[in-house]
Structure 1
Amino acid sequence: MTKRIGNKDIAQHRGKEEKQRVRASNIAMEAEKKAIAAAKYRNQVKGRPAPAAQA
């Protein structure tokens, strides 16, 4: 649930630039997560279990 100010959600009080900044940061975070996941499984053979984690 989003916080409320009176009858409106906080998101409704955000300016255009702030919304764009939040959206850009969310997209960047998702891209980073995706890159980490892709790197983790990059050279694995499909259908085989992952090798033990190397320290």
Structure 2
Amino acid sequence: MTKRIGNKDIAQHRGKDEKKRLRAFNLAMEAEKKAIAAAKYRNEVKGRPALAAQA
């Protein structure tokens, strides 16, 4: 749940520029996570457990 200032959530106090920046940051972080996960499993054979030697 979001923090509150009086009766309003903090998100309600954010300006348009800040909201835009946060959205861009969140999308970039999510894209980075997806790229790391894709690279991690890129050469794995489906259904076969990962080799212990790779860890």
* Matching residue of 1:36: 36
* Matching residue of 1:47: 47
Query: What is the rounded CA distance, in whole Å, between the counterparts of 1:51 and 1:28 in structure 2?
Result: 30
Aligned residues: 55
State the superposition RMSD in angstroms. Answer: 1.2
Q: Which runs of 4+ in 1 moved over 6 A?
A: none
Which amino acid is 1:46 matched to? Answer: K
Residue ranges of structure 1 left out of the alignment (5+ in a row): none
1:3-48 CA deviation, whole Å, 9 max, x = no partner? 1111100000000000000000000000000000000000011111
- Length-normalised TM-score, structure 1: 0.91
Query: What is the rounded CA distance, in whole Å, between the counterparts of 1:53 and 1:18 in structure 2?
Result: 45
Residue ranges of structure 2 left out of the alignment (5+ in a row): none
> Which structure's residues are more often helix, by fraction?
2
Matched-pair identity in %: 87
Q: How far has the Cα of 1:53 moved from its partner?
A: 4.5
